[in-house]
Amino acid sequence: GEDVEQSLFLSVREGDSSVINCTYTDSSSTYLYWYKQEPGAGLQLLTYIFSNMDMKQDQRLTVLLNKKDKHLSLRIADTQTGDSAIYFCAESHSGNTPLVFGKGTRLSVIA
Amino acid sequence: AAGVIQSPRHLIKEKRETATLKCYPIPRHDTVYWYQQGPGQDPQFLISFYEKMQSDKGSIPDRFSAQQFSDYHSELNMSSLELGDSALYFCASSSDGYTGELFFGEGSRLTVL
Tell me the C-alpha distance between A65 and A33, whole Å.
11
Q: According to the model, what pLDDT value does residue A92 have?
A: 87
Mean pLDDT, chain A, whole residue set = 92
Phi/psi at A99 (nearest 5 deg)? Answer: -85, 145
Q: Establish how many alpha carbons lie within 13 A of residue B74's alpha carbon, considering only the half-sphere containing its beta carbon.
A: 31
CA A52/CA A67 separation, integer angstroms: 8
- Taking the Cβ of residue A77 and every Cβ of chain B, the question of whether any pair is shorter than 8 Å is answered with no
Rounded alpha-carbon distances, angstroms, from residue B83 to A9, B10, B12: 28, 16, 11
CB contact under 8 A, B104 and A98: no
Share of residues in chain A with pLDDT > 70 (%): 96
pLDDT at B105: 94
Asked whether the predicted pLDDT for residue B1 surpasses 80, the reply is: no
The per-residue pLDDT for range B77-92, each reduced to its tens digit, is 999 999 999 999 999 9
Do A35 and B50 lie within an 8 Å CB cutoff? no
Instruction: Tally the residues of chain A.
Output: 111
> What is the C-alpha separation between B65 and B61, in angstroms, rounded?
8
pLDDT at B90: 96
How far A43 CA sits from the closest chain B CA (Å)? Answer: 6
**Mean pLDDT (whole number) for A64-90:** 96
Residues B3-56 pLDDT 10s: 999 999 999 999 999 999 999 999 988 899 999 999 989 999 999 999 899 999
pLDDT at B94 over 90: no
> What's the confidence (pLDDT) of residue B97?
57
For range A77-106, the mean pLDDT: 91
